[in-house]
Chain A
Amino acid sequence: MADTAKAKGGGTAGSTGGRRRSRKDDTSSRLADETPETLLDFYRQMLLIRRFEERTGQAYTQARIGGYCHLNLGEEATVVGLMQALRESDYLFTNYRDHGYAIGKGMSAREVMAELYGRSTGVSKGWGGSMHMFDTKTRMLGGYGIVGGQLPLATGAALAVSYRGGDEVVMCQMGDGTTNIGAWHESLNIAALWNLPIVYVVINNFTGMGTTVERSSAEPDLYKRGSAFRIEGERVDGRDVLAVRDAATRLVEKARSEQRPYLLEATSYRLKGHSVVDPAKYRTQEQIEEARANDPVLAFEHRLEQAGILTEDKKQEIAESVRAEVADAADFAENSPHPEVSTLFDYTYATPVANESRRMPADPVFAE
């Protein structure tokens, strides 16, 4: 409990908890509670996302990837920690910063990279791109590009689970800026009214594109913003994979057993701009240096080294296996076919009906 600030549902607007503080000692001591295999697995997953996103940024600047491209760099501990809290049967909805989540929920690096390359082997068959990773098998029901768009959807998924008496939980990830959109208020209200098993997760990287939380949210302690709906909220240091896993697991299991919504705020920091093309000039040198000094991947690596869990040999082995996996993903994407133009009209409707238009731009409406 020492790891998180908490806001009880129903009126704690005056409480003061929740400032970030260093907890290196707390978590170092807790390393002993984990098996080395678990810790090394988390480390590898984090490093995979780091290297995958670096490769993605590189491919984007080489114009192998189009559209918008938002990376999880700096958020690896948050992503990996959150995904440990979910069962395979649980559902995940995210915003557009979704590559790491897609991998974390179980999609292969190959298929995620192929989606970024717009190839038919991608998770969404090349129809979605960076912002729209989706896979029914692993139950990640979408990255969504419209801020807040995923909130009503995730809430409705939780309604379906509840209606059927299932024991799945829905996790709905979003950024800090999303807590100001109407869909946030409407969704949390409905989830609380209808007792839905959902955990809303706000990734607070303190900047919505270039606008700070303080400049956009009248209550900048975002975990408190469930109080209006009697939804309990917690804040956790998103740069600490174990703390994130513990907080997320606690709330996911409460949502499951109590059939109630919960709110988790993970403070985080993106190491790069909002998207690949954003140089992030709105940041001070001090902020940038602080972020680098607290790089979650390097920090966790250092911690595992200090604890004697990550040996130099093991580190090299993991680095090599991650390098190979990312290289393989990029090769797979590069060598995968583009979708056939003949499939252009395959996914407009699930139920075919009469008179669906299949005309190409220059075609006459009435073909002879």
Chain B
Amino acid sequence: MSVITYRQALRDTLRAEMHRDENVILLGEEIGVFEGSYKITEGLLNEFGERRVRDTPIAEEGFVGAAVGAAMLGLRPVVELMTINFSLIAIDQIINHAAKIYGMFGGQNSVPMVIRTPGGGGQQLGATHSQNIELFYAFVPGLKVLAPSTPAEAASMLRAAIRDDDPVLLLENLGLYNTKGEVPDDDESVAEIGRAAVTREGSDITLIGYSRMAALGTQVAEALAKEDISVEVVDLRSLRPLDRQTIVDSVKKTGCAVVAEDDWLTYGIGAEIAASIQEGAFDYLDAPVRRVAMAEVPLPYAKPLENAALPSTESVTTAIKETLSAVGKRVG
């Protein structure tokens, strides 16, 4: 085991997959000479050359679409979109093309490609650079959407995404790139797409999150354990397909749930989770499912406003304690 950052885990995995398979190429803005806006691809141009690490023009629709076309001929392009906000410029190619080509032509041609892109607010980047719009992609059959919350997950999910024959969007997070965690040496683990994981067992309440909110959820659970509150944490890991059974099994055990999400609440990922819980565990619920989500505003630049709008350790803790109070469980 080595303790490495989420960033390092992604970089190591890209490098290993490029060595493993000549069909894996990288495309994106500033990934080569500049070594990546967030330095995920640092060193890869030197190692693999311009043929396999391609700096693209600022043309998201063009190069994402080119990756789709290259994938149709059997390459396995891994595209970096500088942030998920810029995916909006490529959304026609992602939703109307990458997600449709396999089905629309009767299963003749798969599209084995990966789009890596970070979401996440909290960096004072203002309204257009701080959105969490993974929902748009998780909404669409034909796409697979993964959201790793730890370095080990980042590595195993990226590996799974590259080896999968369908278009996979790997949701990274600006706030997670520097986080550290244990990753096996000579890691070869391949995540199972479509599976959530209970990352911490507990008995009082289920906390469901993904990406940054799953990582934050684990911290909250650890803190609450000191107050003798036992929180079970479910890391969704896969936003599409969605593993409803793991969520429901946990809620059946604990009797109540809080969903923590970095996106907006109305129509958000948490709405789907809450709906699934009421359908799958209605008789087991001791309280309404509570959602913690971003305030429904274009995220402001000023730090106090940004902090107030985003879900935090405090807001998740509050939601857990209030839910437990509602069901009459002792709150420390």
Contacts and interface: CB of A to CB of B under 8 A. Distances in A.
A141 interface: yes
A156 B194 contact: no
Interface string A262-305: 00000000000000000000000000000000000000000000
Interface string A144-172: 10100101111111111101000000000
B74 interface: yes
A158 B70 CA distance: 7
B167 to A, nearest CB: 10
Contacts of B102: 347-350
A124 B62 contact: no
A142 interface: yes
A354 interface: yes
B74 A350 contact: no
Interface in A117-160: 122-128, 132, 134-136, 141-142, 144, 146, 149, 151-160
Interface in B110-151: 110-112, 141-142, 144
Interface of B: 25, 51, 54, 56-57, 59, 61-75, 77, 92-93, 96-97, 101-112, 141-142, 144, 164-166, 192-195, 238, 241-245, 248, 275-276, 279-280
B107 A128 contact: no
A268 B244 CA distance: 54
A364 B279 contact: yes
A183 B166 contact: no
Interface string A175-201: 000000011011101100110000000
State the majority secondary structure of interface residues on B.
mixed
22 contacts: A124-B108, A125-B106, A128-B104, A141-B72, A149-B97, A152-B62, A153-B69, A156-B69, A157-B72, A183-B65, A190-B56, A190-B57, A194-B54, A348-B102, A353-B164, A353-B193, A355-B243, A355-B244, A355-B245, A357-B242, A366-B248, A366-B279
Contacts of A126: 106
Interface of A: 91, 93, 122-128, 132, 134-136, 141-142, 144, 146, 149, 151-161, 163, 182-183, 185-187, 189-190, 193-194, 346-351, 353-357, 364-366
Contacts of A351: 110, 164-166, 193
A350 B66 contact: no
Nearest to B142: A348
A128 B109 CA distance: 13
A124 B106 contact: yes
Contact of A161 (B73, B103, B111, B276): B73
A135 B74 CA distance: 15
Contacts of B74: 160
